[in-house]
Every structure is written in structure tokens, then in C-alpha cells.
């Protein structure tokens, strides 16, 4: 049984409920136009995540982070290894 903090419980519960009401996506910018219809928003969100997580990098031969990483020189690699 909680004895300390019982007076604050209703306060924090009301803050949580208020925050839940604020954390709602009202609209999305789709194809340079704002969309506010809930059913259409759901379709766009589902399609976005399906495309995001079903991309076949092996078959396409494309690595999503290709050429975004810097390559260390031999001196930089040696310096890093000598610190450990």
C-alpha cells in the first residue's frame, strides 16, 4: 500500500491524461498537401512503415548508409588503438 505520495497521485494522473490528449497526430503533410482525415492518415502511415521495413537491400544491392561513413587513415587508426 502506498502511503507516501498518495496526495500527488490524482495530480499526476490528471497530468498524464492531459498529456495523452496532446500527443495526437492531427494531420500529416502528404504530397505537399495537409491531410487530416483519420482513415487516410492511417493508410499513409501503414504504407510508410511497410515500405520502410520491407525494403530488400540484398536484392537491390543498395546499402542504406553507403558512402555516409568516413574512413579513418592508418595514422588515425593507430592513434585510436594505442589509447586502449
Tell me, what's the pLDDT at 36?
A: 92
Kindly state the average pLDDT of the residues 34-45.
90
pTM above 0.75, yes or no: no
Quick one: how far is CA 49 from the chain centroid? 11
- Domain residue ranges in the chain: 26-83
Distance between CA 46 and CA 39 in Å, rounded?
11
Kindly state the average pLDDT of the residues 27-33.
87
Kindly state the average pLDDT of the residues 44-66.
70
Structure confidence at residue 50 as a pLDDT band (50, 70, 90): confident
Listed residue (66, 46, 63) closest to 55, CA to CA:
63
Amino acid at each position: 500500500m502506498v502511503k507516501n505520495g498518495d496526495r500527488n497521485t490524482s495530480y499526476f494522473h490528471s497530468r498524464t491524461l492531459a498529456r495523452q490528449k496532446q500527443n495526437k497526430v492531427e494531420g500529416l503533410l502528404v504530397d505537399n498537401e495537409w491531410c487530416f482525415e483519420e482513415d487516410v492518415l492511417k493508410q499513409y502511415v501503414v504504407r510508410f512503415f511497410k515500405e520502410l521495413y520491407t525494403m530488400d537491400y540484398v536484392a537491390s544491392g543498395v546499402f542504406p548508409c553507403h558512402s555516409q561513413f568516413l574512413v579513418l587513415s592508418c595514422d588515425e587508426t593507430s592513434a585510436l588503438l594505442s589509447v586502449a
